[in-house]
Amino acid sequence: MDIRIHRGNVIQNTATMAYRNLLKTIHNPDQLMDVVIQPVLFMLMFGYLFGGAIAGGVKAYLPTIVPGILIQTMLSAASGSGAQIREDLDSGVFDRFKSLPMVRIAPLAGQLFADSLRLLIAAITSLTTGYLMGWRPGVGLGWVVAIGLLAIFMGWVLSWVFALLGLLAKSAAAVQSVSLMTMLVLSFMSNAFVPMHALTKPLRFIARLNPVTYVITAIRQILATGSWTHEAWVVLVFGVVIVAIFAPLTVWAYDRN
């Protein structure tokens, strides 16, 4: 048989890499634990623990907490990309990838596209748990899907940032701890769980600067008004800008490794 070498294009290479990552997930379904169990656990714990104190009841607290947990889950799912990339780099498989005549961005892009499946599962679990606890957004399923997609988009944008972190870090363990801290700080120092007015002054200042606050506010507004708000556009535009900055940086860091 004669082997012809086609120079694979970006899309084909990326699709193959994404397929590879999906296969890995299928062979190791336990890797999905964090996106399946964590949101359920957090939703139940936070809902029943703080519901009474913050909103006077679980049901009244759900419109606050559902977007909060949704975004927190996205952050945590996105941070997984960094650790995964670091592990791959350390395993020697990436040497092989890099010695292949494929497009340089494909391994990264493949990973991040496959990770959107994790984000999708995380979003569905979060929203479903909220629904089962009695959350009934008045704006209809269409807008719930819209905020789900917006959250997934944000998670995907952040996964580029965490991927860069993974490439620059020394070890997978380092990525994991840094990611965990970032995730905790970003989600707690925001309006995710506690409404703005209930925060102390310095905390409110930090929360205002926190981009996570923006995303959560945008989502709550969409759910409250049933329309695509100004904030939602801001989140979209910023997301595109972040990817435009971080994608080349991440590829650079990848080449450097």
Partner 1 sequence: MSAINAIEVNHLTKKFGEKVAVNDVSFKVRQGEVFGLLGPNGAGKTTTLRMITTLLKADSGQVKIFGHDTAKEGRLARSMFGLTGQYASVDEDISARQNLMIFSRLNGLSRQEAKDRTAELLTEFSLENSADKPLKAFSGGMRRRLDLAVSLITRPALIFLDEPTTGLDPRTRSQMWDTIRKLVDQGSTIILTTQYLDEADQLADNLAIIDHGHVVKMGTPAELKEQLGGPRVTFTLSQTRQVAAAEQLLATQVAGDVREEGPDLSVSLGQVAQLAPLLATLNDAKIGISHLAVQEPSLDDVFMNLTVGKN
For partner 1, the binding residues (CB under 8 A) are 1, 3-8, 12-13, 16-17, 19-20, 23-24, 27-28, 91-93, 95-102, 106
Q: How many CA atoms lie within 13 A of 34 on its CB side?
A: 18
Q: Which of 2, 141 has the CB closer to partner 1?
A: 2
**Dist. CA 256–CA 252, nearest whole Å:** 6
Minimal distance, residue 106 CB to partner 1, in Å = 8
CB of 95 to partner 1, least distance (A): 5
Q: Which is nearer to partner 1, 102 or 151 (CB)?
A: 102
CB of 20 to partner 1, least distance (A): 5
Name the one residue in this structure whose structure tokens are 């961005």: 105
Closest distance between partner 1 and the C-beta of residue 176, in Å? 19
Q: Of the two residues 42 and 97, which places its CB atom closer to partner 1 in the complex?
A: 97
Q: What is the DSSP string of 140-189?
A: -HHHHHHHHHHHHHHHHHHHHHHHHHHHHSS-HHHHHHHHHHHHHHHHHT
Q: Which is nearer to partner 1, 56 or 95 (CB)?
A: 95
The count of C-alpha atoms lying within 13 angstroms of the C-alpha of 242, restricted to the half-sphere facing its C-beta, is: 19
C-beta of 104 vs 204, nearer to partner 1: 104
State both tokens at 171. 């070890």
46, 193 contact by CB (below 8 A): yes
CB of 25 to partner 1, least distance (A): 9
